[in-house]
Structure 1
Amino acid sequence: MTRRGAVITIASALASALAALAAGAAPFSGGGTLPVEGRAAGFDGASTWLNSAPLGARQLRGKVVLVDFWTYSCINCIRTVPYVRAWARKYRDQGLVVVGVHTPEFAFEQELANVNAALARFGIDFPVAVDSSQRIWRAWGNRFWPALYLVDAEGRIRHHQFGEGEYDRMERAIQALLAETRGAPLADMGLVDPRAGAEQMAPDLGRLESEETYLGYDKAVHFRSPERLREDGTQQYSVGGLDLNEWGLSGRWTVGAESIRADEGGAAIACRFGARDLHLVAGPGQAGRKVRIRVTLDGRPPGADHGSDIDADGNGTVDATRLYQLVRQGGTVRRRRAEIRFLDAGARAYAFTFG
């Protein structure tokens, strides 16, 4: 390219950026501009607020707002938290307000004590609107966990993202909108690089062969115990061979609409999966109880492939209703058969997730 061509290109780009600003679209270093996507619906309908007094149009006037729809046992949301938390802290003094909207998927996620425990566990200190009746979710027309919406100082949605990943692009959008609001570029245009371990580590997508698997009969798929699944009734189950992504039960269980309950000590769930990580959303069945579990991989203790919530011998404790990381394969990732045995009765399990 000649110098004249470069000058023309720069001048054209500058003209386009000025035109975009005049039209209300912030120039976006990720490519193009940030168009106006509609009006933000606000947060009317929150049952309560955590880490903040209620926030509305008056409190947020003149601020850029990042809205994060999440729920605390969702693995995709959990893996997004380090970035959202880092953005809240880095850009707080430059005009960004992060608002988490906690909209539950499971009934246990409606319990305020569980949500508060999750905020402490994940170090979330930005405002959170508790949306247990899903009124905010419906007002925004949202359908995804996580879902991120970037709102400008005039209350207009200017960028959105559904699902985890593309963190660089979202941060560039935040920077562009803050620069538009301030009328000047930010001094620090670097990107956050939060440290994430355990279940918050990014998934190994190249070797991920398994998808989220619900265990309650409303959404259960790939159930392969020879006994027919009995809805809302107690039954003795057994499990034999399993193909990839199939699961089964052994021992006495009650299968409900959104969870399964171990009705005797020694009852187990088995699954065959293809992923680096295996997680289980589970709880003790009653607040204050502790349920011992033992996990095996291909019939043996997991050893170095144990997750953060069990030890190398496969032993762990379910003492709260949340997501537990049971397996993290540290070497060659291959298809495995996992068995989770509940040594005490009463525990509930909701879903397998993978990474």
Structure 2
Amino acid sequence: MASILLAYLAGVLTIAAPCILPLLPLVLAPALTDGAGFRRRGLPLLMGLAAAFAVTASLAAAGGWAVAANQYGRAMGLAFVVLFGLVMMWPALAARLTAPLAAAGARLAERFSPGAASGVDSTVASSLALGLATGLMWAPCAGPILGLILSAAALHGPGPDTTVALFFYALGAATPLAAVMIGGGRLVRALPQGALRWAEGVRRVAGGAVVATAVISAAGLDTRLFLGVPALPTDRVERALVKVLSAHDSGVAHAATLPATQPPLTGPLADVLKAKAWVNTSGLTSGDLRGHVVLVNFWTYSCINCLRTLPHVRQWAAQYKDQGLVVVGVHTPEFAFERDVDNITKAAATLDVTYPVAVDNDYRIWRAFDNQAWPALYLIGADGRVIYQAFGEGDYDKTERVIRKALADAQATPTAQAPAAQVKVEGAQAAADLNDLGSPETYVGYGEGQRYSGGDDIVADAPAHYRPAGSLRLNRWTLGGDWTVGREFATAGQAGARIAYRFHARDLHLVLAPGADGQPIRFRVRIDGAAPGADHGTDVDADGVGTVRAAKLYQLIRQAGPVADHTFEIEFLDPGARAYAFTFG
């Protein structure tokens, strides 16, 4: 039940996100230009939208055939929306275009309720059809909660649970839209009679807005436009909702708890052994895990949250090894470069990760644990059952207490009371200053990019010259020079290409990679136009000079004094650098 509530509330929050913009002309146009009322016009439209979105988003996980079918469905939806806009611009077309819908509705009504065909409402039928078409074309912003739903669908395939969650997400988005429609209708009815003479002109303008919306969506310009539209920080609200509701419903975390009667190594641990590649070992066997307390750590090496968890995992691996604890890392990639086993091996060595790491490029182990986040910790008792899970950073003391208890239970000895050794952390792995963290993770690729400012729109997958914004508001960023912006990363096309970001955090990190030829790329960073000096990160010197030698997370700023708003800029002195995502701490 909590997962359904989460999905609904996440949908409601989309009213504050830029991806709701394409829906506004479609819901406002009928409300402002006809008197059909919400029950006959608005409610069927919104229900059709929710149903179409839930079904198509669910089927997207079924395989290539479903993806292709969704593309055709989207094209048909766009075509229908264009027709709807044309009808509003030229009402003479309305009778011809709605007649087939009314006739089809009449036949259905006659089939399921003989004698009721005469009562079929063509307005309801056409509104439902418009809602279905809108649901086919709508692409909502993927916040944390929708990300959980869609990742579950992608990993496990479509199913009733996913479809229901997506339907309630769409219902949540429809709720504020319903308020907009009702308010618009009341506004029209409240206008004096003299103002109604403008109704025809309003109808034509609204129809033109609907057609323009469909054309922009068909051309793929909507995603690029979203990068320049400010959005409220709904991601933080969604994460808080997950934390609060998960405390009341264990199903939210989707823990992979096994029945007490399940024999060892037939649950998710069995899939750990099936990893196709390993780091720090040639592979583990059943004998290495059976009867042991096992801590499984899901991580990926460019994730700042994962990096800040590693010192604690390393400490537990060393401190409790002789008491029977086995630590296994599961490296599940986020970016394409994190799939390279050589890159993972080098990162593990650099980060002093010496325990076995399973390479989970196919997400097999991720699916076996029904995992949803980086980082994630699962503690498995000696009987093979998952007895504890923790997601994200923090709660290290609690996790260690559970580890001690599990080891004591396995050995039938009292729980050790000795204090844990001090965990040594340095560089990017030091804990974040969460009390003064005011900037969110920000992707540079257009696939998940937000809050972009600049003199030019983002051009997807093509070289372009970008004029940087003259000034930046907090948590806005801009490009300067020649760039090719792809879905996952942006590539600097020439020496002198720049990125600037206005941030509020102690630490600023940027995931970077060299170009396709692998050659080192020099860069220089500035903070408020000057060299960082004492505020430099571990991957640059006091003059702000550094080099991209490998694909990884680079710590570029660590403020030595009080945290305040600053403008960060990085300039690449050689072409070819790939920039993926900003993170803060």
The answer on 1:268 being equivalent to 2:498 is: yes
The answer on 1:41 being equivalent to 2:253 is: no
Map of 1:338 onto structure 2? 568
Q: What are the equivalent positions in structure 2 for 1:1-355 lying under 5 Å apart?
A: 37-38=257-258, 40-42=267-269, 43-187=272-416, 189-240=418-469, 241-286=471-516, 288-355=518-585
Report the RMSD for the aligned CA atoms in angstroms: 1.5
Measured in 2, the distance between the counterparts of 1:238 and 1:191 equals 53
Relative to structure 1, is the Cα distance of residues 100 and 36 closer, same or farther in structure 2, using a 3 angstrom cutoff? closer
Map of 2:122 onto structure 1? none
Q: CA deviation at 1:286?
A: 3.4
| TM-score, length basis structure 2 | 0.54
Measured in 1, the distance between the counterparts of 2:273 and 2:319 equals 27
- Are the equivalent residues in 1 in contact too, given 2:378–2:389 (CA < 8 A)? yes
1:38 aligned counterpart, secondary structure: coil
Measured in 2, the distance between the counterparts of 1:36 and 1:173 equals 17
Cα deviation 1:109-151 (Å, max 9, x = unaligned): 0001110111111111101100011111112110100000000
* Aligned residues with identical type, % of pairs: 51
| Amino acid in the other structure paired with 2:497 | A
1:77 aligned counterpart, secondary structure: helix
Measured in 1, the distance between the counterparts of 2:324 and 2:538 equals 37
- Are the equivalent residues in 2 in contact too, given 1:287–1:320 (CA < 8 A)? no
Measured in 2, the distance between the counterparts of 1:288 and 1:188 equals 50
- Are the equivalent residues in 2 in contact too, given 1:199–1:325 (CA < 8 A)? yes
- Are the equivalent residues in 2 in contact too, given 1:44–1:136 (CA < 8 A)? no
Q: CA deviation at 1:91?
A: 0.5
Measured in 1, the distance between the counterparts of 2:280 and 2:384 equals 22
Measured in 2, the distance between the counterparts of 1:74 and 1:232 equals 25
Measured in 1, the distance between the counterparts of 2:276 and 2:542 equals 42
Relative to structure 1, is the Cα distance of residues 117 and 47 closer, same or farther in structure 2, using a 3 angstrom cutoff? same
Cα deviation 1:163-215 (Å, max 9, x = unaligned): 01111000000000000000002545312321111101100011100111011
1:86 aligned counterpart, secondary structure: helix
| Amino acid in the other structure paired with 1:120 | A
Moved more, 212-221 or 181-190: 181-190
Q: CA deviation at 1:53?
A: 3.5
2:349 aligned counterpart, secondary structure: helix
| TM-score, length basis structure 1 | 0.88
- Are the equivalent residues in 2 in contact too, given 1:45–1:131 (CA < 8 A)? no
Measured in 1, the distance between the counterparts of 2:257 and 2:358 equals 23
2:502 aligned counterpart, secondary structure: strand
Higher fraction of helix: 2
Unmatched 5+ stretches in structure 2: 1-254, 260-266
Higher radius of gyration, 1 or 2: 2
Q: CA deviation at 1:287?
A: 5.5
